[in-house]
Amino acid sequence: MTIHVYNCETATIRTEMVKRTKSEGVFVGLRIHMNTDQAITFWSTTQDGLREMVRSLLDTVATPLELISEKPALPGQLSRS
């Protein structure tokens, strides 16, 4: 599944740390809430695992604009005009 989240004036995003205990062990999550009543949660068995995921996201965002290739719009892609 692909989720497209666009940063715009009407988008409100907040984050929180969450924890779940399951039969497989304890999992910690980084949950990203959006004002659309939707949320994305990244799960790991350790906080270090979550930090590594965030570092990976930051490395991706730090890519210079000239090195980013343009992708065609996909059917069903959400956008705001």
Q: Which residues of the chain have pLDDT under 70?
A: 1-11, 73-81
Q: If you search the block for the tokens 């990976």, which residue do you land on?
A: 56
Predicted pLDDT at 81: 44
In a domain, 20, yes or no: yes
Please say whether the dihedral angle defined by the alpha carbons of residues 51, 44, 11 and 7, taken in this order, is positive or negative: positive
Average pLDDT over all residues of the chain: 82
Question: What domain range includes position 32?
Answer: 13-63
Neighbours of 46 (CB within 10 A): 11
Tally of domains in the chain: 1
In a domain, 76, yes or no: no
List C-alpha distances in Å: 76 to 1, 3, 7, 16, 32.
Answer: 11, 10, 18, 29, 22
Q: What is the pTM of this model?
A: 0.66
Rounded to 5 degrees, what angle do the CA atoms 74, 2, 53 make? 135
Predicted pLDDT at 1: 54
Predicted pLDDT at 68: 84
In a domain, 5, yes or no: no
In a domain, 81, yes or no: no
In a domain, 71, yes or no: no
In a domain, 69, yes or no: no
In a domain, 8, yes or no: no
